[in-house]
Chains A and B, each alone.
Chain A
Amino acid sequence: MIDIGYDAAHLLGALVLMTSFALLYQRRLFSLLNVFTVQALALSGAAAWQAYAHDEPHLYITALLTLTLKAIAIPVALHRIIQRLHIERTVEPALGIGLTMVAGVSLVTLSILLVLPVTENATALTREDLALSLSVVLLGLLMMISRRNAVSQVVGFMSIENGLILAAVGVAGMPLVVEMSIAFSVMVAFIIFGIFLFQIRERFETLDMRKIESFRGESD
């Protein structure tokens, strides 16, 4: 028979992974944000499903949080910034897309090689979930490295976070998931609305990290 619970979770997890591949692939900021929104949706779906399937109501909070903050608030805010700074057209990947893709695929294989052998006695779902989330984390890192633009770096960071939350919800009965996700979101929020919006903009009128990095240590 078909284990619907497994399939659904599997599907959502896979969707998250796919989206982070898509993130790597995007050239334009807006589409980047849209893909990220999709990822957030998928993640909240996964969380909700987990909450329903294993009957862990507190995961609903996580799902809700992800939905409101990552799928709605942050993308909107970023849209605003992008429009205000007129940088719609600029997403220049530091590495070539193709190279990035190759790297991404190899990272996914690495994470599968790492996770699967060590988790024989965990449930199949957990193993899958872990492998997926590890790949998402690594891909997020790869994205932060391969992009020059602050927005896309933040997006990369948030996709790392998504991967973590995916892992957290995937592991059965993990306590404090909510608290951690909240803490994380607070951090991201602080950063984006604290430093990022006001300070960088008021200082540099740009989000290109190359400009910011001209103020590297000991430029005196």
Chain B
Amino acid sequence: MTPALPIVLIAPLVMAALLALVPNWRLASWLNVGACAVTFAASLALFTAKPAATAMLVLDAFNVALIALTAFVGLTTAVFSAGYIGHEVASGTLNPLRLRFYHAMFQAFLFTLLLALSANNLGVLWVAIEGATLTTVLMVSLYRTAASIEAAWKYFILCGVGIALALFGTILIYLAAQPVMGPGLAAMTWTRLLADAARIEPNILNLAFVFLLIGYGTKVGLAPLHAWLPDAHAEGPTPISAVLSGLLLNVALYAVLRFKMLLAANGAALAPGPLLMVMGLSSLLLAALMLYRRRDIKRFFAYSSIEHMGIIAFAFGIGGPLANFAGLLHMAMHSLAKSAIFFAVGHAVQASGTQRIDGIRGLTVSHPALGWGLLAGVVAIAGLPPFGVFMSEFLLITSTFARQPWLGVLLVLGIAVAFGALVLRVQRLCFGAPTGGAPIHGTLLPLYAHLAVVLVAGVWLPAPLVAWFQAVAALLG
């Protein structure tokens, strides 16, 4: 097995331990970046040499791209966070001790995500996601403000219960598989399960999927399980908001999809599609309406994340090659665009000293680079060309309307309502007489890197990526 995959996993783990010991936060922030760079490089190496699946780890068409994406967003976020915390320290909101903790947790969080993505074992997957919850809960409460602790508490309680339900689902899967492939690891290994899926008792699978959907779905942020998401995004440090939206939601959804594959391969089990569609549509419509009354900029974009997770869930729910392809593309595009937006928001909030939307005005005038970047990000997330989100929404809407007209109309309605809110806000944020004039810390490179990728993807997708997505789309049924 090539060293690439181990490096991807070990680098963050080691760095997490190491960073816990580094007292100098500036050094730590750059070590953080370095570690992420290593991870990203290794993840790119995965494209070339694809190791065979082991009992614990697997690398296939589904997760290879997501791993690279995760490593990339991790890297850019680390770069962003280096500048971000500089300002936080300067303004005295964070002390070095907490920063040590923060950096360690950042790496640990990346580790858990990468582990979850590359896990070939249901147990490992569960442990990884549980670890991700733990680390993020602690980082959300980093500021120690009442609001942040309340957010962390809510996050823990809801996602803890979710995780518990997911574990129960996992046990049920094992229970279903064990008669077929005997006790032991085999009955909890993706590759094996997928191979013998057809012989597994479908009824238990159904039951298990319900628990897994509700469980992991909580972390995806699907309505009505979404309540933790906005507050966690709003109260934590902005880099964490970026990775929460950009990575954690994707990984949780990834878990759900793996199980969906299992059901699809089984054949006799209930089709989970309608369930996903209902939850997706409700998330979409709920979030779309919620956007109108938000006053806190980070909470605003957190709700937009819920909206997009809804769209994605709907896409996988309706299924079929086109919709699944659209869903996968949308996952990637959303994580890039949304984290880019959070980068911009972080700078904007620091520049204007408030998180209230009313307090931020005319960014394109006061900070042109930042303002236009934010605008571009919102345009991208709103699904306007030439950005990648448009392609996925195009595929989704057209293919849906051809098959389920009414659902298509609902989908379009939700997207349009959300769009109205986005335009309303972004115009006020980016145009008009400017408010905050403070200079911004750190580089805008991460923001524009993400936007560039999203832009390119909107115009041209590399063939191997397409091939992977199509393969996975076929598996998702």
Contact = CB atoms under 8 A, between A and B. Distances in A.
Query: In the complex they form, do A and B come into direct contact, defined as C-beta atoms under 8 angstroms apart?
Result: yes
B160 interface: yes
Contacts of A121: 179, 201
Nearest to B155: A195
A217 B231 contact: yes
B121 A144 contact: no
Given A117-B203, A167-B168, A175-B185, A195 B156 contact: yes
A134 interface: yes
Given A119-B175, A157-B161, A220-B296, A175 B137 contact: no
A220 B126 CA distance: 37
Interface in A137-168: 137, 141, 144, 153, 157, 160-161, 163-164, 167-168
A176 B130 CA distance: 14
Interface residues of A, number: 50
A199 interface: yes
Contacts of B160: 157, 187, 191
Contact of B164 (A161, A175, A199): A161
Contact of A173 (B121, B123, B171, B178): B178
A220 B293 CA distance: 13
A121 B180 CA distance: 11
Interface residues of B, number: 53
A183 B127 contact: yes
A25 B308 CA distance: 42
Contacts of A157: 157, 160-161, 164
Contacts of A153: 157
Contacts of B234: 217
Contacts of B299: 217-218
B149 A195 contact: yes
Nearest to A123: B179
Interface stretch (A12-20, A36-44, A66-74, A208-216): A208-216
Interface string A108-150: 0000001101110110001000100110010001001000000
Nearest to A140: B164
A200 B149 contact: yes
B26 interface: no
A7 interface: no
Interface in B167-224: 167-168, 171-172, 174-175, 178-179, 182-185, 188, 201, 203-204, 206-207
B147 interface: yes
Given A153-B157, A167-B168, A217 B127 contact: no
A144 B206 CA distance: 26
A149 B248 CA distance: 30
A61 to B, nearest CB: 15
B246 interface: no
Contacts of B144: 199, 203
B198 to A, nearest CB: 16
A50 to B, nearest CB: 13
A53 to B, nearest CB: 14
Interface string B137-155: 1100100101101111100
Contacts of A184: 130, 164, 167
A190 B150 contact: no
Contacts of A173: 178, 182-184
A134 B167 CA distance: 11
A216 B150 CA distance: 7
A179 interface: yes
B210 to A, nearest CB: 9
A180 interface: yes
B446 to A, nearest CB: 27
B296 to A, nearest CB: 6
A115 B48 CA distance: 46
Nearest to B174: A174
B164 A137 contact: yes
A11 interface: no
Nearest to A191: B156
Contacts, number: 131
Nearest to A209: B153
A194 to B, nearest CB: 7
A220 B175 contact: no
A118 B203 CA distance: 5
A175 B150 CA distance: 36
A161 B165 CA distance: 9
B130 A215 contact: no
A115 B176 CA distance: 12
Contacts of A176: 121, 123-124, 127, 188
B185 A195 contact: no
A215 B146 contact: yes
Contacts of A65: none
B356 interface: yes
Contact of A203 (B146, B151, B156, B161): B146
A66 to B, nearest CB: 15
A220 B294 CA distance: 11
A117 B207 CA distance: 11
B167 A171 contact: no
Nearest to B233: A217
Taking each of A167, A174, A179, which has the highest tally of chain B beta carbons within 10 Å of its own beta carbon? A174
B295 interface: yes
B201 A195 contact: no
A144 B160 CA distance: 12
B273 interface: no
B314 to A, nearest CB: 25
Interface string A182-201: 01101100110011000110
A120 to B, nearest CB: 9
A187 B147 contact: no
A218 B230 CA distance: 10
A147 B126 CA distance: 28
Nearest to A166: B171
Contact of A220 (B134, B138, B171, B295): B295
Given A118-B201, A176-B121, A187-B133, 6 more contacts: A121-B201, A122-B175, A164-B167, A176-B127, A216-B231, A217-B151
13 contacts: A119-B175, A121-B201, A153-B157, A160-B164, A171-B178, A172-B178, A173-B183, A175-B188, A176-B123, A204-B146, A217-B151, A218-B294, A218-B296
